[in-house]
Chains A and B, each alone.
Chain A
Amino acid sequence: MNIDFSTALPYIPVLIKAAGFTILLTLTSQFFGTVLGFFLALGRMSRFGGLRWAVWLYVWVFRGTPMLLHLFFIYYAAPLFGLTLDAIPAAIIAMSLSSCAYNCEIIRSGLQAVHHGQVEAARAVGMTYPRIVRRIVLPQAVRIIIPPYMSNFITHTKNSSLASVVTVPEIMLTAQTIANSTYRVIEILTLAGVLYLFLTSCLTWLQLWMEKRTAYEQRTLTLRRRRQLGLEPA
């Protein structure tokens, strides 16, 4: 068998368009998964036992079952409950539900890693809980959260290929369709692999950038901030 990219190369624009769907699925579901995951994490740390238990149950179910199954359920089982969804919204919902179970645990571990004394000191000066979370806990938790969060983000990006089973024309489904009609399986899959690698490389780079941004030991005050603090003549 010989490798010949001449048939495959003209399909690059089609695959790039498919990558657009991969990006759409991944970004939207990761966004909802992060926001929901944050509130689930707070719920998991709540002083109300019922809420803690409910969140635990949610994470137990959605982290303990494959995302493939969530996709099938939302897309094929939802109509049984009178709810018919198009492939893309169904995939986004399923992927968000899955993502937030993981993000809940990642964010919770970060929030809990912030030393309790930090919170006590903030309570002692009279800060309210929302302010403590925003000003004291989150800025410290974010840097702890970034590496596992970004790892999960990368996994999530690759797992978006599972949405092919509910007919979302993302990279994998598109690649398979092209391969079936051109018989250039190796070449097309190679191109698909390069696209995934490009997407995940962007995330790796984003992670490095975020880690640098949040490394507060290396932070120096900007000139604007120094002026605001009266450390520099205005």
Chain B
Amino acid sequence: MMSPMIDVRNLHKTFGSVQALDGVSLTVGTGEVVCVIGPSGSGKSTLLRCINFLEEPTSGIVSVGGHRVGYVGDGTHARRMRGRELAAMRAEIGMVFQLFYLWPHITALENVMLGLTEVRGLTARAAADQARALMHKVGLGDKMTAFPEHLSGGQRQRVAIARALAMEPKVMLFDEPTSALDPELVGEVLQVMEQVAQEGMTMMVATHEMGFARRVADRVVFMDRGRIVESGTPDELFDRPREERTRRFLEKILS
């Protein structure tokens, strides 16, 4: 068993009267790729957002790289992180959003650079060197000076991936990265993600792309109503699901 990079224990999250996460426990080993599947509203996004503390868990513990997320210290002595501490923690956790959220007022290259200059304190020149390399890596060497609104959805999402990778995070979280894309643009984004996975990045991917999950994931987790219904290798989960709920979901989505 690989050492756990992400450790989620008995995580609960409620929004008002809505129970978004209802006791989720899960570990992700270093270099492991876990795809989280499930119907809309099943809690996939909330789970990912709790891992980098964009959502504050109602109860339960999340750790990344052996450090508790959002808190300093252990057990009863734990106190909530302050702004600066939270920011430093988030810099180690890359996140890619469904709607990209590129910053529209700066070029693609500057989007990739900004974390390096603002958070890591690199000079513009040094940051640009790294950012250019990443832009080539995601296949956008010719779009460095393009503004986000002049890029296609697939290109935007690849810039967003490069932006997250620039921070050299320990893990990458992908929150339905292809759900907002035209079907013909999905492939280019999945291809970049597959490449990142092959380089050994620890990844959690909330997705509806079953082909990608089967091909790339080490493990697939099926969620419904804020709980993990079952998890297993892609072959186990897709070909021999144990739970009736999983079977019904797969029938619907694969037909």
| Residues in chain A within 8 A of chain B (CB atoms) | 115, 117-118, 120-129, 131, 135-136, 139-140, 216-217, 219-221, 226, 228-231
Q: CB-nearest residue of chain A relative to B91?
A: A126
Q: Is residue B246 contacting chain A, with contact meaning CB distance below 8 A?
A: no
Given the complex of chains A and B, what is the CA–CA distance between A167 and B47 in angstroms?
Answer: 65
Given the complex of chains A and B, what is the CA–CA distance between A231 and B141 in angstroms?
Answer: 11
Main secondary structure of the interface of A (DSSP, over half): helix
Q: CB-nearest residue of chain B relative to A126?
A: B91
Give me 6 A-to-B residue pairs in the complex whose CB atoms sit less than 8 angstroms apart, sorted by A's number: A124-B94, A124-B164, A125-B163, A139-B106, A216-B105, A228-B124
Closest Cβ of chain B to A32, distance in Å, is: 28
Q: Is residue B181 contacting chain A, with contact meaning CB distance below 8 A?
A: no
Q: Is residue B107 contacting chain A, with contact meaning CB distance below 8 A?
A: yes
> Which residue of A118, A219, A229 has the most chain B CB atoms within 10 A of its CB atom?
A229
- Inter-chain contacts of B62 with A (CB < 8 A): none
- Inter-chain contacts of A226 with B (CB < 8 A): 145
B97 and A121 contacting across the interface, CB-CB below 8 Å = yes
- Inter-chain contacts of A115 with B (CB < 8 A): 101
A118-B101, A121-B103, A228-B128 known; A216+B119 contact, CB < 8 A: no
Q: CB-nearest residue of chain A relative to B129?
A: A230
B104 and A140 contacting across the interface, CB-CB below 8 Å = yes
Q: Is residue B243 contacting chain A, with contact meaning CB distance below 8 A?
A: no
- Inter-chain contacts of B99 with A (CB < 8 A): 117
Q: Which of B45-99 contact A (CB under 8 A)?
A: 52, 54, 83-84, 87-95, 97, 99
A135-B118, A221-B107 known; A125+B101 contact, CB < 8 A: no
B147 and A217 contacting across the interface, CB-CB below 8 Å = yes
A219 and B147 contacting across the interface, CB-CB below 8 Å = yes
In the complex, the number of residue pairs spanning A and B with C-beta atoms less than 8 Å apart equals 95
Given the complex of chains A and B, what is the CA–CA distance between A226 and B94 in angstroms?
Answer: 27
A216 and B90 contacting across the interface, CB-CB below 8 Å = no
CB 8 Å contact bits of B216-230 with A (1 = contact, 0 = none): 000000000000000
Q: Is residue B114 contacting chain A, with contact meaning CB distance below 8 A?
A: yes
- Inter-chain contacts of A231 with B (CB < 8 A): 109, 128, 132, 144-145
Q: Is residue B167 contacting chain A, with contact meaning CB distance below 8 A?
A: yes
A120-B54, A129-B83, A221-B145 known; A230+B128 contact, CB < 8 A: yes
A228-B125, A230-B125, A231-B144 known; A126+B101 contact, CB < 8 A: no
Given the complex of chains A and B, what is the CA–CA distance between A215 and B230 in angstroms?
Answer: 50
- Inter-chain contacts of A228 with B (CB < 8 A): 124-125, 128
A125 and B115 contacting across the interface, CB-CB below 8 Å = yes
Which of B54, B84, B92 has a CB less than 8 Å from the CB of A128?
A: B84
